[in-house]
Amino acid sequence: GAGVSQSPRYKVAKRGQDVALRCDPISGHVSLFWYQQALGQGPEFLTYFQNEAQLDKSGLPSDRFFAERPEGSVSTLKIQRTQQEDSAVYLCASSFQGAQPQHFGDGTRLSIL
């Protein structure tokens, strides 16, 4: 496709469940980013991949959060034992090579009950 694709668009889970969020970046984009956007706030950086290598995961809030990009294309953000504070929109972005501009997907809105 032409843009960054994220799925699902909406996810509702019960507290304690595991969830997996998918990101399909723009074809040929080497760099991939995950951000978390709480209601009424700006996006906050979670993690960054260059190809399959995770170069920065300093923004992941806890060890319940895990991201992977095994073949350097599609990425999955996994959250284990979800908590209510994990409720947010999770944004994926990709860029041709590290440097800007970053192209954003429409996000996955995660609600933890």
Partner 1 sequence: GDSVTQMEGPVTLSEEAFLTINCTYTATGYPSLFWYVQYPGEGLQLLLKATKADDKGSNKGFEATYRKETTSFHLEKGSVQVSDSAVYFCALSEDGYALNFGKGTSLLVTP
31 near partner 1, rule: CB under 8 A: yes
Number of residues interacting with partner 1: please give it, by CB under 8 A. 28
Q: Given the complex with partner 1, which of 82 and 108 has the nearer CB atom? A: 108
Task: Tell me if 10 sits within 8 A of 90, measured CB to CB.
Answer: no
Amino acid at the residue 77: L
Radius of gyration in angstroms for the set of CA atoms belonging to the chain, rounded to a whole number: 13
48 near partner 1, rule: CB under 8 A: yes
106 near partner 1, rule: CB under 8 A: yes
Q: Given the complex with partner 1, which of 17 and 74 has the nearer CB atom? A: 74
